[in-house]
């Protein structure tokens, strides 16, 4: 493929792939012409047009670029764990063209100044679009309202708790009312801190056997119910992040049936792994919320299939090696997942646990709509797209992954789905060496 | 779907099924547990000699790595290692390296550089000995001397030895474990051992706040009422209750706990007349157990202490033997290639 496609005015043609545009379009052997960062022609017109470069996408799927609602880029502040440059390159490797940056940075993204810093860094170094999420409370400490007007003005797409709890329901209620003032979606990972306490694993049979400190399901479900009721009362637009429990899905469905504006996502690893993954004290699988029971996993999958859960997120949390090299309780939670979301999703398709269109919806149009956006491949649209071969297998290894985080859930195991090309804003964000 | 085989089986056993480390009783067979008990039986006699030593670990260096203090357990491991003729180094890590900010991995690297052959590990975090076993150089054996709430396999095995001595075997026995099961690494290992060795029934007797979630999945029956749970018992094992359980709103008071779950003569009378009374120590008299019972004719608490040395000798010598066999096999295979 021609590198000149990145230059202003250069054009790129993608031919021979299967175009999958959300659920509306599924066309074989099609063509796309991209110029000036946009899709300028499709189908026959594109096939006939000449271009500066051509990509043969035979055997591949051409889909809208994936959108990640929760990704830790670690910058500013945690350079040893990753940075905007490394982690957005990893995102592009995974087929993502847009990532929402968690407010859990240092300093916390709780003001327009920090948001502007992130946007500046991203504009110079990011391979994909970076959408900052602001902190819902100052310093993410759960006590004082953050500068939401400033966050919104600086370009935050939502405000969230970044995985930390807000102990005080009165503060939470005010946060939601205040966010609603500025039309900011509240992205909240539901967790009652008092009930989660010092736990780090699902409170279930594995925890009991291994003597690990458990986080009970009610730590999530009581928070889900609280958030739903507060959203209903304040009129705030609520997005529940990283659900892990079957009961949460039930409550979500019930709330939606009552017309409450609530959406939700689930992390990819919650759909594949259960509490059993911790049975050998494998610190990679120390994640928060914890991996739960098989019953929970099945319910989360059903939620994605039914569309009750809108999106699959990477919940990417890169760490340095030292963060995971200790007895389980002393390790930091989080998996390095952004490069393997597609592959893990395709494994679910192979297992007949998830349909391919549902997987694509949860990676593209689902999360885009949570952000009030679209993810479409159509003439005139920005060229955010991913070309991948679902039937090619690869073995993620430390030397093939681009994230600074080395604790991927699939390292050393052959998985389906090789991303051939990722275009973000028409620019090549990732290109497989063999493409 | 789950991650790759999480069983510790492959970590602590050689390909021939010999002990390489001793981390947990999970995945160990009845034959292997019986083997440990038989080996320990053969070591009891060593403690009765004038010169209490056998040369099985002569020239070997055993390091007692205690990340939390425990005088009793550390002393029995030290004595066991010395009776096996090993050189013993006691390190109280809780007040040294890690408190200066050194990571556990770095501490291990330094200790390995001293050419140690075996680490006996006590740690406040569940799974710490597993982490160490995965981190150390091949050939170094790790013995778990208690990790977090997870396991205390040598304590459980000395309890099994004590039961076998007094009951002749395990078939048909009804055994109850009473008290703070939630926080007890000993209880988890005991439940496992009793099930593998084939007792008829394992009961846990405790209030709901001191039981782990889904505790029945460990292989036991729950009794909230002690009078009910004591019926037809052959063995009752009392657990230690930590003072901080009151502060954590798990119990209203020691007095109420003792009234409901403390073992006194009246409650013991509900069990079989020859029911033995056990306790891993140290005992809180008047909280878990009445003095008259702790010192009474059915108590075997001091036998447990004596058996602790024999069990630790057995486990240490077997793990070292497994490491040696594996090393020889590797060298032989290397030579053949």
How many C-beta atoms lie closer than 10 Å to residue A59's C-beta?
Answer: 13
Q: Could B217 and A327 be called an inter-chain contact, meaning their C-beta atoms sit closer than 8 Å?
A: no
Check CB contact under 8 Å for B125 and A325. Answer: no
Q: CB of B213 within 8 Å of any CB in chain A? A: yes
Contact yes or no for B126 and A205 at CB 8 A: no
CA distance A187 to chain B (A): 29
Question: How large is the ipTM?
Answer: 0.89
DSSP letters for A283-320: GGG--SSPP--HHHHHHHHHHHHHTSS-EEE--B----
Interatomic CA distance for residues A309 and A239, integer angstroms: 10
Rounded to whole angstroms, how far apart are CA atoms A137 and A108? Answer: 10
* Angstrom distance (rounded) from CA B187 to CA B151: 8
Q: Tell which residue, B200, B124, B190, has the closest CA to residue B156.
A: B190
- Which H helix or E strand runs over B255? helix B254-261
In this complex, do B127 and A210 lie within 8 Å of one another by their Cβ atoms? yes
Dist CA A251 CA A231 (whole Å): 13
Q: How far does A379 lie from chain B, in Å, by closest CA?
A: 41
Determine contact, residues A194/B198, Cβ cutoff 8 Å. Answer: no
pTM of the model: 0.92
Question: Angle A304-A308-A311 (CA atoms, 0-180°, nearest 5)?
Answer: 55
Q: What is d(CA B64, CA B57) in angstroms, rounded to the nearest whole number?
A: 15
Q: Which residue on chain B is closest to A284 by alpha carbon?
A: B3
For residue B63, the SS3 value is strand
In this structure, the dihedral spanned by the alpha carbons of residues A293, A299, A301 and A303, taken in order and rounded to 10 degrees, is -150
Task: Tell me if A416 sits within 8 A of A347, measured CB to CB.
Answer: yes
As a whole number of Å, the CA-based R_g of chain A is: 21
B87-101 CB burial, b ≥16 within 10 A, e <16: ebbebebeeebeeee
Chain A positions contacting chain B at CB under 8 Å are: 203-205, 207-214, 216, 272-274, 276-285, 322, 325-330, 347, 351, 409, 413
A–B CB contacts, 8 A cutoff, strictly below: 103
Q: Are strands B174-178 and B235-238 parallel, antiparallel or unpaired?
A: parallel
Is B68 in the A-facing interface, judged by CB distances under 8 Å?
no
Cα A281 from Cα A329, distance rounded (Å): 9
Is B217 touching A (CB cutoff 8 A)?
Answer: yes
Q: What is the least distance, in Å, from the CA of B137 to any CA of chain A?
A: 16
Q: Looking at CA atoms only, how far is residue A273 from chain B in angstroms?
A: 5
Kindly determine whether residue B3 and residue A216, on different chains, have CB atoms separated by under 8 Å: no
Contact B2 A274 (CB under 8 A): yes
Reading chain A (435 residues) residue by residue, the pLDDT tens digits are 333 344 456 899 999 989 887 555 567 778 999 999 999 999 889 989 999 999 999 999 999 999 999 999 999 997 889 999 999 999 999 999 999 999 999 999 999 999 999 999 999 999 999 999 999 999 999 999 999 999 999 999 999 998 887 888 999 999 999 999 999 999 999 999 999 999 999 999 999 999 999 999 999 999 999 999 999 999 999 999 999 999 999 999 999 999 998 999 999 999 999 999 999 999 999 999 999 999 999 999 999 999 999 999 999 999 998 898 889 999 999 999 999 999 999 999 999 999 999 999 999 999 999 999 999 999 999 999 999 999 999 999 988 899 999 888 888 999 999 999 999 999 999 999 887
Find, in chain A, the residue whose alpha carbon is nearest to that of B212. Answer: A208
Strand, helix or coil for residue A420 = strand
SS3 assignment, position A106? coil
Minimal Cα distance from B123: which residue of A?
Answer: A327
The pLDDT tens digits for B29-71 are 999 999 999 999 999 988 888 888 899 999 999 999 998 888 8
């Amino acid at each position: 493929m021609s590198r000149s496609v990145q230059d202003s005015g250069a054009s790129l043609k993608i031919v021979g792939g299967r175009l999958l545009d959300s659920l509306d379009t599924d066309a074989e052997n099609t063509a796309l012409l991209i110029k000036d960062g946009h899709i300028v022609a499709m189908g026959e017109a594109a096939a006939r047009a000449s271009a500066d470069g051509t990509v043969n996408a035979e055997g591949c799927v051409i889909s809208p670029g994936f959108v990640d609602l929760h990704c830790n880029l670690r910058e500013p502040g945690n350079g040893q764990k990753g940075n905007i440059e490394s982690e957005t390159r990893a995102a592009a490797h995974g087929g993502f063209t847009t990532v929402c940056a968690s407010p859990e940075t240092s300093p916390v993204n709780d003001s327009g100044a920090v948001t502007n810093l992130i946007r500046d860094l991203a504009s110079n170094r990011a391979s994909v679009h970076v959408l900052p999420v602001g902190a819902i409370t100052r310093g993410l400490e759960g006590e004082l309202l953050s500068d939401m007007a400033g966050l919104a003005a600086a370009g935050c797409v939502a405000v969230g708790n970044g995985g930390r709890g807000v102990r005080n329901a009165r503060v939470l209620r005010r946060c939601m009312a205040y966010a609603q003032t500025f039309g900011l979606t509240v992205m909240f990972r539901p967790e009652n801190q008092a009930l989660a306490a010092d736990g780090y694993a699902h409170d279930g049979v594995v925890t009991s056997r291994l003597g690990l400190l458990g986080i009970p399901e009610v730590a999530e479900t009581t928070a889900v119910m609280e958030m739903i009721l507060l959203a209903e009362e304040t009129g705030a637009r609520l997005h529940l992040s990283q659900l892990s429990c079957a009961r949460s899905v039930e409550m979500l469905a019930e709330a939606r049936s009552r017309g409450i504006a609530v959406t939700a996502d689930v992390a990819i690893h919650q759909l594949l792994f259960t509490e059993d993954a911790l049975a050998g004290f494998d610190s990679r699988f120390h994640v928060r919320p914890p991996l739960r029971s098989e019953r929970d996993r099945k319910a989360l999958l059903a939620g994605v299939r039914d569309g009750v859960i809108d999106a699959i997120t990477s919940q990417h949390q890169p760490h340095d090696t030292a963060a995971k090299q200790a007895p389980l309780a002393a390790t930091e939670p989080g998996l390095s997942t952004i490069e393997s979301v597609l592959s893990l999703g395709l494994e679910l398709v192979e297992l007949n646990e998830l349909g391919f269109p549902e997987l694509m919806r949860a990676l593209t149009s689902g999360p885009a709509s949570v952000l009030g956006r679209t993810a479409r491949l159509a003439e005139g649209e920005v060229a955010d797209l991913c070309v991948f071969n679902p039937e090619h297998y690869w073995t993620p290894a430390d030397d093939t992954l681009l994230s600074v985080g080395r604790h991927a859930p699939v390292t050393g195991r052959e998985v389906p789905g090789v991303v051939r090309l990722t275009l973000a804003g028409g620019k090549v964000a990732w290109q497989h060496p063999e493409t | 779907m789950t991650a790759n085989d999480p069983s510790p089986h492959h970590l602590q056993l050689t390909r021939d099924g010999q002990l390489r480390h001793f981390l947990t009783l999970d995945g160990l067979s009845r034959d292997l547990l019986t083997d440990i008990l038989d080996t320990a039986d053969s070591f009891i006699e060593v403690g009765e000699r004038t010169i209490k030593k056998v040369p099985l670990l002569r020239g070997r260096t055993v390091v007692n790595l205690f990340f939390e203090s425990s005088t009793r357990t550390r002393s029995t491991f030290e004595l066991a290692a010395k009776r096996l003729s090993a050189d013993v180094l006691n390190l109280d890590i809780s007040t040294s390296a890690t408190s200066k900010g050194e990571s556990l991995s770095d501490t291990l690297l330094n200790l390995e550089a001293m050419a140690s052959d075996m680490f006996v590990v006590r740690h406040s975090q569940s799974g710490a000995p597993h982490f160490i076993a995965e981190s150390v150089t091949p050939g170094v054996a790790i013995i778990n001397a208690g990790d977090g709430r997870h396991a205390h396999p040598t304590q459980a095995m000395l309890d099994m030895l004590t039961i076998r001595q007094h009951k002749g075997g395990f078939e048909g026995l009804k055994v109850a474990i009473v008290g703070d099961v939630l926080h007890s690494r000993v209880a988890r290992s005991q439940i496992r051992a009793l099930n593998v060795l084939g007792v008829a029934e394992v009961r846990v007797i405790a209030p709901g706040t001191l039981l782990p979630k889904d505790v029945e999945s460990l292989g036991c029956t729950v009794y909230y009422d002690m009078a009910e749970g004591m019926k037809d018992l052959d063995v009752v094992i009392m657990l230690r209750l930590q003072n901080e359980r009151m502060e954590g709103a798990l119990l209203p008071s020691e007095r109420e706990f003792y009234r409901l779950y403390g073992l006194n003569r009246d409650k013991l009378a509900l069990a079989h007349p020859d029911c033995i009374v056990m306790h891993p120590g140290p005992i809180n008299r008047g909280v878990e157990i009445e003095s008259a019972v702790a010192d009474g004719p059915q108590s075997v608490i001091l036998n447990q202490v004596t058996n602790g040395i024999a069990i630790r000798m057995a486990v240490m010598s077997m793990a070292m033997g497994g490491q040696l066999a594996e090393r020889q096999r590797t060298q032989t295979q290397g030579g053949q290639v």
